Amino acid sequence: MKKIKTFALMSTALIAMTFSPITNVAQASTDTDNIGTENIMSVAWFQTSSEARALYYQGYNTATNNMRNKLAQPSDRPYAVVLDIDETVLDNSPYQAYALKNNVSYPTNWHNWILSAQAKALPGVKNFLNLANANEVSIFYVSDRNKSTETDATIKNLTEQGLPQADKDHVLLKSDGESGKSTRRSQVESQYNVIEYIGDNLTDFNDPETNSIDGRNDDVNTDSTYFGDKYIILPNPMYGGWESAIYNNNYAISDAEKSKLRQSYLNYYDPNTDSVTQIKAF
């Protein structure tokens, strides 16, 4: 009897699986009561996955090997390394978790988070920077945090995490009205032989001509041989220039529009037609 019942239940489940209509694949969700919930998997991955941790080790191990190779070569200028801060040196994922939980977005309370100076150093960065420091390599932290209001808290946070050369000569934040990091990069390059740039966003390496999905991919294809060499890229699935490109760089659009645009670029498999296509149907 039990066996028959089990079989009947399995059969029902199998029929349901076989004949479930798969007709709404291309239909976007319109539930944007809390668009922040769309970031849960990204933040969960960043905070819990050993794979994320391993990618940071991989990035900083590669950076260490590059540095050792360079230091074996003579240079007419002193050596330096240039790093972004957020999601490169310091882990701000607790802010991302706060934002998704409360359905708010950057910059709401971002400044408070920076002033709290509670961000932890990411895996691998401390050993890499201590080795650089021990070899008299100059370290430049080039970040778009606000120079006038966030320098002191940033230096405090970096110092408390045991990271070297965290002072006003080496923590180069964004001045009011400044656009991008190219001026600060040039400033370092004029005096130093930069071994490598380390970041989680293309703008940590150069400024793409157009921050569009195709433009960014073209940029990376052109510079493909730099990655793992002059450029060390670290993982950030939570936010970045890639997200901005999806919105055509307009964060002022509604949450509903953002959600639609996010889905509109997905390539999806449609079992009804046995083909892969892009949703784009909005």
**Contacts with Mg ion, residue ranges (CB under 5 A):** 84, 86-87, 200
What is the smallest separation between the CB atom of 63 and Mg ion, expressed in angstroms?
15
φ, ψ dihedrals at 108, nearest 5°: -55, 120
What is the smallest separation between the CB atom of 216 and Mg ion, expressed in angstroms?
15
Nearest to 205, CA basis, from 178, 176, 226, 235: 226
Nearer to Mg ion, 34 or 47 (CB): 47
Judged on CB neighbours under 10 Å (0-12, 13-18, 19+), 7 is: exposed
What is the smallest separation between the CB atom of 239 and Mg ion, expressed in angstroms?
9
Nearer to Mg ion, 150 or 200 (CB): 200
Nearer to Mg ion, 32 or 88 (CB): 88
Nearer to Mg ion, 28 or 188 (CB): 188
Instruction: Give CA–CA dist 34/247, Å, rounded.
Output: 18
Alpha-carbon separation of residue 156 from 120, 128, 167, 277 (angstroms):
12, 19, 9, 49
Q: How many residues does the chain have?
A: 282
Q: Which two tokens stand for residue 255?
A: 């949450």
Instruction: Give CA–CA dist 237/76, Å, rounded.
Output: 39
Nearer to Mg ion, 28 or 119 (CB): 119
H or E segment and range at residue 209: none
φ, ψ dihedrals at 204, nearest 5°: -80, -10
What is the smallest separation between the CB atom of 170 and Mg ion, expressed in angstroms?
17
What is the smallest separation between the CB atom of 256 and Mg ion, expressed in angstroms?
28
What is the smallest separation between the CB atom of 185 and Mg ion, expressed in angstroms?
14
Nearer to Mg ion, 32 or 56 (CB): 56
Cβ-proximal residue to Mg ion, closest one:
86
Nearer to Mg ion, 28 or 173 (CB): 173
Instruction: Give CA–CA dist 221/228, Å, rounded.
Output: 14
Alpha-carbon separation of residue 176 from 109, 150, 209 (angstroms):
19, 12, 22
What is the smallest separation between the CB atom of 19 and Mg ion, expressed in angstroms?
48
Nearer to Mg ion, 36 or 199 (CB): 199
What is the smallest separation between the CB atom of 161 and Mg ion, expressed in angstroms?
16
Q: Which two tokens stand for residue 17?
A: 């699986």
CB-based contact 198:163 (threshold 8 Å):
no
Question: In 3-state terms, what secondary structure has residue 146?
Answer: strand
